[in-house]
Structure 1
Amino acid sequence: MAQTDPLAAKALLSGFPILRTQDLSEARAVVGRAFCDHRLDMRRGAQLRVSHDHVCGADVSLNTLAYGAEVEIDPGQLQNFYLLQFPLAGAARIEHRGETVEACTETATILNPDRDTRMIWGVGCRKLLLQVNRGHLERVAEDLIGAPLHGPVRFDPRVDLTQTAGRRLFRQVISAARAATHGNLWRDGAGLNEAWIERELAAVLLDSQPSNISHMLWRVARAPTSREVRRGLDYLHANISEPLRVEDIAREAGLNIRSLQLGFKAAYGVSPMRYLRDVRLDAARYLLSRRQNRESVTQVAYSVGFSHLGRFSKDYRARFGTRPSAG
């Protein structure tokens, strides 16, 4: 994570206090109104010192939050919003989507609305939080990919702040928090500048953090300039469940096989068939991540064009580091 001056970080959103308390019940109620109802517990005899600053726009909110003591937080499912959490100090353990993340100043987390969460914030943990309304994020995602979504966006919960994408995301969020702190955002309501910032925050989150629609965003961002390769690409995406051969894609593109291979290599760094395999795997992951009306692994494998289940399982694990049955 980009280094943040401790004094500057402590002053973030200091003009927007909504809670200073040592009372557990009051903390649970006030923080719950800002986010959602949740269970909040701490060890008997611990000294609670809650500090919560909160500024709210039309579709996002920015928060700094610290409890002082070690606390256990169980919000269940957030339902209507995503929550991006950057530790500014201290550490926390986050259990979400079947994964445990040890959060610190080098590792942030993002919580998805339709997955259960349990958190333990350590003594001295203080976080900068970005809350993004689910509907807003989905609208921005559809604008970016130019097509409707067929299910919820689900992010990987671990945000690596030592990598370029994670640092970019952190810079965008902390820049918005600093602008609000200095009275340049959300001080007098929500205007055009605030609307642009709220859209940009959602867009940078979608672009920076791996999710089940990353392949769609990547495809748009890396759209080739060749009309022929574009035709081949569109044909590939429209027929991923069919037993496609490279000859079929080349014919639809109006290219010979060698030209098609060179075009895909230049645009995507892989061959057309490798690209097709990855698209099929990404589509399978999207289907397997659904919470309701989820098909079996076998049904999903066949629906995205895999005819050999053993090969599908091996390729899926190699791409995502987990078995298809893990979702």
Structure 2
Amino acid sequence: MNPTASAFFTRPPSAPLPATRPLRPFFASADLEETRLRVGSVMKPHRLDVAGRAQRLDARMHHASFGDVSLSLLAYGAEVEIQPGPLEDFFLVQMPLAGRAQVDSGGQHSDSGPHEATVLSPSEDTVMRWSADNQQLMVRVSRALVERTLALQLGRALDAPVRFQLGFGWRDNAMWMHLLGYLQEMMAQDIDVSQHRLVSQQVGQLVAATLLAVQPHNHSHAAPARCNTVLPRHVRRVQDHIQAHAHEPLCAEQLAEVAGVSVRSLYAGFKEFLGVSPMQYLKDLRLERARAELLGGSTHVAGVALRWGFGHLGRFSADYRARFGEYPSETVRRH
């Protein structure tokens, strides 16, 4: 095991929450409604019920964000039933450090424990029951990032939402364990990675690519669109430029100049390898960045929209809802 991950994993199942120095305390509460709202603010609104009147909630959560990826430690201190429904815009890897969780999602069932995690897919309806001693380490990664990463690997647009196998033998997977150790190392540096855009993008891409590599999903055996799935240099150059300068004014002619090809060739390359035009790629990325700000606590929707190049607030709201299933104001109210 990677020694940097030992604070999370080298402990008896009955021990309390592990050393959480790299993860900042997010909340502690014995109130059911407060707990539901606080957990929902970093996950999604959900139904939460304590099993039995005699039990007393003793919820604790630690949390750190990397932009499109976040890491959390959560314990309820009582047996609870959680009904989030479909997660919609993110995948969630849940790794019990102690206790057990019965998880039903998309027709699959897992009696999850310290040696079996679960991977929840956003399109699947989910119901869970956590034991009173259950403590979960959770990695949340945006749906858009995972699907964009897979589309790049396949060299074409996806023809169906990504759905992972539910059960995940995480402790026996060296790649996943090294990834968790790397994330803990990043947090231990006491640097807010989410404030460093390029770094947080690289961390997100690493998490998405690792999850796709280590856990079976419905596209695992899909054939790439081309024998060579490496993006052409001009497409990769423009993709990198867009990610680094998404907050700046950009037009097709500028992007073609960056690529060193004609506008027509640039559009053809993006359509063939990414399934979208370069300007649609830019728009989607800006919407994701705007959502990340709103999820991160920003309450000024108009300011966020303008910062990411959306001058018409009504159109921004409509595009946002079409992509994420809710209006920007609804995202703000959830926090």
Q: Normalising to structure 1: TM-score of the pair?
A: 0.61
Write the letter of the residue equivalent to 2:43.
F
Q: Deviations over 1:258-283 (max 9, x none)?
A: xxxxxxxxxxxxxxxxxxxxxxxxxx
Secondary structure class of the residue paired with 1:10: coil
Q: CA, structure 1 residues 8+202, in 2 after alignment: closer, same or farther (shift >3 Å)?
A: farther
Tell me the residue number matched to 1:44.
53
Secondary structure class of the residue paired with 1:76: coil
Q: Which structure ranks higher in relative contact order (CA pairs < 8 Å, sequence separation ≥ 6)?
A: 2
CA shift for structure 1 position 145: 1.7
Contact 1:179 1:185 in 2 (8 A): no
Structure 2: distance between partners of 1:174 and 1:155: 23
Matched, 1:137 2:132: no
Aligned residues with identical type, % of pairs: 32
Matched, 1:175 2:182: yes
Q: Unmatched 5+ residue regions in structure 2?
A: 229-335
Structure 2: distance between partners of 1:68 and 1:204: 31
Write the letter of the residue equivalent to 1:172.
L
Alignment RMSD: 2.7
Q: Deviations over 1:216-253 (max 9, x none)?
A: 37x69x98xxxxxxxxxxxxxxxxxxxxxxxxxxxxxx
Q: Deviations over 1:16-75 (max 9, x none)?
A: 222111111100011011111111111212121111111122211111111111111010
1:1-327 → structure 2 map (5 Å cutoff)? 4-6=9-11, 10-12=18-20, 15-42=23-50, 43-161=52-170, 163=172, 166-184=173-191, 186=193, 189-216=195-222
CA shift for structure 1 position 114: 0.9
Structure 1: distance between partners of 2:40 and 2:17: 24
Structure 1: distance between partners of 2:199 and 2:103: 33
Structure 2: distance between partners of 1:47 and 1:99: 30
Q: Deviations over 1:158-208 (max 9, x none)?
A: 102354xx342233134313421442562x623433221110000000011
Contact 1:13 1:55 in 2 (8 A): no
Write the letter of the residue equivalent to 2:212.
L
Secondary structure class of the residue paired with 1:79: coil
CA shift for structure 1 position 13: 5.6
Contact 1:90 1:125 in 2 (8 A): yes
Contact 1:62 1:177 in 2 (8 A): no
Write the letter of the residue equivalent to 1:205.
L
Secondary structure class of the residue paired with 1:216: coil
Contact 2:23 2:64 in 1 (8 A): no
Q: Normalising to structure 2: TM-score of the pair?
A: 0.60
Structure 2: distance between partners of 1:47 and 1:9: 18
Write the letter of the residue equivalent to 1:34.
V
Contact 2:86 2:126 in 1 (8 A): yes
Moved more, 58-67 or 166-175: 166-175
Number of residue pairs matched by the alignment: 220
Greater Rg by CA = 1
Structure 2: distance between partners of 1:13 and 1:78: 28
Tell me the residue number matched to 1:269.
none
Write the letter of the residue equivalent to 1:208.
V
Contact 1:94 1:100 in 2 (8 A): yes
Write the letter of the residue equivalent to 2:129.
I
Secondary structure class of the residue paired with 1:32: helix
Secondary structure class of the residue paired with 2:190: coil
CA shift for structure 1 position 128: 0.9
Write the letter of the residue equivalent to 1:71.
V
